Amino acid sequence: MKIAIVGTGYVGLVTGAAFAEIGHDVLCVDNDARKVERLRQLHMPIHEEGLEPLVRRNVAQGRLRFSTSVQEGTAFAEVIFLAVGTPPGYQGEADMSYVEQVGREVARHMDGYRLLVEKSTVPVNTSARLGRTMNRSVREDIPFDIASNPEFLREGSAVHDAFHPDRIVVGVESERAAARLRAIYKPIVDRSGCAYLEMNIASAELTKHASNSFLAMKISYINAVSRICELTGADVNHVARGMGLDSRIGPHFLQAGVGYGGSCFPKDVDAFVRLADELGYRLDLLKDVQAINAGQREHLMRKLQQELWVLDGKTVAVLGLAFKPGTDDVRESPALYFVPRLQERNVTLRLWDPVARAKFEPVHPGIPFADTPLEAARDADAVLILTTWPEIVSLDLDRLKSVMRCPVVVDGRNAFEPAVMLEKGFVYHSCGRQPQPRMH
- Interface residue with ligand UDX, options 24, 65, 314, 324 (CB under 6 A): 324
Indicate whether 215 belongs to the interface with ligand UDX (CB under 6 A): yes
Residue closer to ligand UDX, measured from CB, 69 or 343: 69
Kindly state the smallest distance separating residue 196's Cβ from ligand UDX, in Å.
17
Which one from 28, 229, 264, 431 is the annotated catalytic residue?
A: 264
What b/e readout covers 111-129, taking b as 16+ CB neighbours within 10 angstroms? Answer: eeebbbbbbbbbbbebbeb
Please work out the total of residues on this chain that contact ligand UDX, with binding judged by CB under 6 A: 40
Indicate whether 12 belongs to the interface with ligand UDX (CB under 6 A): yes
- Interface residue with ligand UDX, options 48, 151, 235, 381 (CB under 6 A): 151
Indicate whether 120 belongs to the interface with ligand UDX (CB under 6 A): yes
Indicate whether 205 belongs to the interface with ligand UDX (CB under 6 A): no
Identify the burial level of 193 via C-beta atoms within 10 angstroms of its C-beta, where 0-12 means exposed, 13-18 middle and 19 or more buried.
exposed
Residue closer to ligand UDX, measured from CB, 143 or 250: 250
Q: Are strands 2-6 and 79-82 parallel, antiparallel or unpaired?
A: parallel
Helix (H, G, I), strand (E, B) or coil at 348: strand
Helix (H, G, I), strand (E, B) or coil at 88: strand
Indicate whether 154 belongs to the interface with ligand UDX (CB under 6 A): yes
Indicate whether 261 belongs to the interface with ligand UDX (CB under 6 A): yes
Q: Which amino acid is at 127?
A: S
Residue closer to ligand UDX, measured from CB, 55 or 153: 153
Kindly state the smallest distance separating residue 94's Cβ from ligand UDX, in Å.
7
Residue closer to ligand UDX, measured from CB, 262 or 373: 262
Are 166 and 194 within 8 A, CB to CB?
yes
Are 28 and 106 within 8 A, CB to CB?
no
Indicate whether 155 belongs to the interface with ligand UDX (CB under 6 A): yes
Separation in Å, CA 299 to CA 215, 228, 251, 289:
21, 13, 25, 15
β partners of residue 318: 351, 384
- Interface residue with ligand UDX, options 131, 257, 320, 418 (CB under 6 A): 257
Pairwise CA distance, residues 339 & 181, whole Å? 44
Indicate whether 7 belongs to the interface with ligand UDX (CB under 6 A): yes
Are 410 and 319 within 8 A, CB to CB?
no
Indicate whether 326 belongs to the interface with ligand UDX (CB under 6 A): no
Q: How far apart are the first and last CA of the chain?
A: 68
Residues 363-402, one symbol each (x = binds ligand UDX by CB under 6 A, - = not), give ----------------------------------------
Name every residue whose Cβ is closer than 8 Å to that of residue 42 and which is 6 or more positions away in sequence. 52, 55, 56, 59
* Cβ neighbour number for residue 431 with a 10 Å cutoff: 26
Helix (H, G, I), strand (E, B) or coil at 318: strand
Whether 194 is catalytic: no
Handedness of CA 363, 37, 113, 14 (dihedral sign): negative
| Element spanning 108, H or E | helix 97-109
Residue closer to ligand UDX, measured from CB, 152 or 163: 152
Choices 2-10, 57-65, 137-145, 398-406 (CB under 6 A): range interacting with ligand UDX = 2-10
Interface of this chain with ligand UDX, residues 121 to 150, rule: CB under 6 A: 121
Choices 5-13, 184-192, 283-291, 366-374 (CB under 6 A): range interacting with ligand UDX = 5-13
Name every residue whose Cβ is closer than 8 Å to that of residue 55 and which is 6 or more positions away in sequence. 13, 17, 39, 42, 44, 64
Q: How many helices (H) and strands (E) does the chain have?
A: 18, 13
CA-nearest of 192, 157, 175 to 22 is 192
Interface of this chain with ligand UDX, residues 216 to 255, rule: CB under 6 A: 219, 253-255
- Interface residue with ligand UDX, options 102, 110, 147, 339 (CB under 6 A): 102
Choices 8-16, 126-134, 195-203, 429-437 (CB under 6 A): range interacting with ligand UDX = 8-16
Kindly state the smallest distance separating residue 82's Cβ from ligand UDX, in Å.
8
Indicate whether 263 belongs to the interface with ligand UDX (CB under 6 A): yes
Phi-psi region of 247 (alpha: psi -120 to 50; beta: other; left: phi over 0): alpha
Kindly state the smallest distance separating residue 313's Cβ from ligand UDX, in Å.
31
Question: Which residues sit at the interface with ligand UDX, rule CB under 6 A?
Answer: 6-12, 30-32, 35, 83-86, 98, 101-102, 120-121, 151-155, 212, 215, 219, 253-255, 257, 260-265, 323-324
Active site residues: 264
